[in-house]
Amino acid sequence: MSLPNCPKCQSAYTYEDGALLVCPECAHEWQEDEAETQSLSLIKDANGNVLNDGDSVTVIKDLKIKGSSSVVKVGTKVKSIRLVPDASDGHDIDCKIDGIGQIKLKSEFVKKA
């Protein structure tokens, strides 16, 4: 049975230490269980609530939109979000905002409505 690679640095030299898995290269320690693996891919709002496709959220700070003069104001309600679990730039919510259009948001700047 082989151990999973380190989720932080992808090192293959992980080893077991009791209930924990340990990475000798970056010193990351984690628990190998289903729940942990799953929570890694969950997208959470600013309060730590898990977000789902189709949820409505509220923006919690003014967000300047890159490449335009528009600002998404704090308190803006966003309906029917779509999650982007593998967003490499951290913008893990795809949504449409009235008056602005299709944009991407970071889950850390919203809370579940």
Name, in order, each residue with C-beta under 8 angstroms of 81's C-beta and a sequence gap of 6 or more: 51, 53, 54, 55, 56, 57, 93, 94, 95, 105, 110
Dist CA 89 CA 26 (whole Å):
22
Which residue from 3, 5, 22, 28 is in contact with Zn ion, where contact means CB under 5 A? 28
56-85 binders of Zn ion (CB under 5 A): none
Which residue from 4, 9, 31, 33 is in contact with Zn ion, where contact means CB under 5 A? 9
Q: Which stretch binds Zn ion (CB under 5 A): 11-19, 38-46, 84-92, 97-105?
A: 11-19
In angstroms, what is the minimal distance from the CB of 26 to Zn ion? Answer: 3
Q: Which helix (H) or strand (E) holds 36?
A: helix 34-41
Strand partners, 59: 110
For residue 11, state whether it binds Zn ion (rule: CB under 5 A): yes
Q: Which stretch binds Zn ion (CB under 5 A): 20-28, 31-39, 80-88, 103-111?
A: 20-28
CA atoms within 13 A on the CB side of 89: 6
For residue 23, state whether it binds Zn ion (rule: CB under 5 A): yes
For residue 21, state whether it binds Zn ion (rule: CB under 5 A): no
Strand partners, 101: 97
Site residues (vs Zn ion, CB under 5 A): 6, 8-9, 11, 23, 25-26, 28
